Amino acid sequence: MNKKVAVILAGCGVYDGSEIHEAVIALVSLDRGGAEVQCFAPDIPQMHVVNHLTGEVMEETRNVLVEAARIARGQIKPLTELKVEDFDALVLPGGFGAAKNLCDFATQGAEFQVRHDVLRAAQDFAEASKPVGLICISPVMAVKIYGEGVVCTLGDAGCDAAEAVRRLGAEVKGCAADQFVEDTERKLLTTPAYMVAQSLTEAATGIEKMIARLVALA
């Protein structure tokens, strides 16, 4: 019987949504692992829209669910429809959208909060002892999901993001882009991807290893 994995996206594009490479690599890895995947996203406006050619904020609004549908080829559902009992594992790719649309870490730092629907979904998997995979900047949310003592990585253990979540009680480990960190007690898997990756191959290798472990745990 195929494992069923939910993937929460945060839009489409590294600067204001889900990092497309990370999301697609995760989806391909899940498919290769024989998993049945369903994508979800909050049905909300993006924090802002960034011109990915210039890096400048644009004077327009976009919807996180609508933009994430680009990555999911339209096969996506509102996050409100995600039910933990229907799935064996959960994955959250990175990109600035994870820190802007799924939580407000990008603007609030250590004072950040995770969106209530994102937090509810992730905590449901944690409480059910089902594996969760967090990629790139998404592991900042681990301390909100699991509480103090959670083990995760953001790549460089001394970076600002790592210091911020460490102050909240997380144990943040250093990790190369082509590896991942496992919190065996909590079944939490994290990989830094483009937090430290210098190439697409480095990011892909770490994500592929993490996904293979996630599917094995599911």
Residues labelled catalytic: 136
DSSP 29-95: HHHHTT-EEEEEE--SB-S-EE-TTT-PEES---BHHHHHHHHTTT-EEEGGG--GGG-SEEEE--S
Residue with tokens 């429809």: 81
* Type of residue found at 191: T
- What CA–CA distance (Å, rounded) separates 122 from 131? 10
- What CA–CA distance (Å, rounded) separates 120 from 128? 12
- What CA–CA distance (Å, rounded) separates 215 from 218? 5
